[in-house]
């Protein structure tokens, strides 16, 4: 009896958004997994090769390879100004990663990433969750970033360089 309970408890941080009989519940923060940590470390270290290796084929990866100035600004800012960039969010560890619900979790997944301190500031004492499930607290690229992943033949790869807007990105 004890082993199944321990196994279930070990899986709780991976649960993401859940639903109970009373409605949706607030998702849990977790630490970055090994691949996410490698990606975040590469962003902070400006390690373009690691980012390329962890990115799926597509416009965001192409912008990264081409050293596109817009992609560089999205990740690292400009002239020392990092507010609203990936570096700005990731430079205040520890990080709080929240798994977002996915209709196809075996092929696609998305995460929201906060600085733990910022998440704690924004999170209301009594979470208000709409019927549609968890909505991030605060403002995108100021308080948190969202990163999409796709499962490829090589494993999970980042699809969008954490919401880099490209000509092929959906706008909506």
Q: Tens of pLDDT along 21-57? A: 555 567 789 999 999 999 999 999 999 999 999 999 9
Give the pLDDT score at 130: 66
- Rounded to the nearest 10°, the torsion over CA 116, 131, 17, 171 is -70
CA distances from 165 to 16, 55, 63, 170 (A): 25, 15, 10, 8
The answer to whether residue 142 scores a pLDDT higher than 70 is yes
pLDDT digits (tens, 9 = 90+) for 77-123: 998 889 889 999 999 999 999 999 888 999 999 999 999 999 999 98
CATH fit for domain 27-124+135-158, picks 3.30.70, 1.10.287, 3.30.479, 3.10.450: 3.10.450
Give the pLDDT score at 168: 52
Q: Pick the closest to residue 27 from 39, 15, 38, 36 (CA basis).
A: 15
In whole angstroms, give the CA distance from residue 112 to residue 163. Answer: 11
More confident residue, 135 or 20: 135
Task: Name the residue ranges covered by the structural domains of the chain.
Answer: 27-124+135-158
Give the pLDDT score at 90: 95
Residue 26: CB atoms within 10 A of its CB come to 17
The answer to whether residue 71 scores a pLDDT higher than 90 is yes
pLDDT band at 14 (very low <50, low <70, confident <90, very high): very low
Q: What percent of the chain has pLDDT over 70?
A: 78
């Amino acid at each position: 009896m004890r082993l199944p309970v321990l196994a279930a408890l070990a899986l709780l941080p991976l649960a993401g958004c859940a639903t109970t009989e009373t409605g949706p519940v607030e998702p849990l923060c977790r630490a970055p997994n090994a691949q996410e940590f490698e990606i975040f470390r590469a962003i902070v270290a400006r390690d373009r090769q690691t980012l390329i290796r962890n990115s799926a084929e597509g416009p965001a990866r192409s912008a990264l390879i081409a050293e596109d100035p817009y992609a560089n600004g999205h990740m690292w800012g400009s002239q020392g100004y990092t507010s609203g960039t990936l570096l700005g969010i990731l430079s205040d560890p520890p990080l709080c990663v929240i798994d977002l619900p996915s209709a196809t979790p075996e092929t696609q997944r998305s995460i929201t990433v906060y600085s733990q301190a910022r998440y704690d500031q924004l999170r209301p004492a009594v979470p208000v969750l709409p019927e549609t499930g968890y909505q991030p607290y605060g403002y995108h690229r100021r308080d948190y970033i969202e990163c999409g992943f796709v499962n490829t033949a090589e494993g999970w790869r980042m699809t969008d360089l954490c919401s880099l807007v490209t000509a092929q990105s959906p706008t909506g």
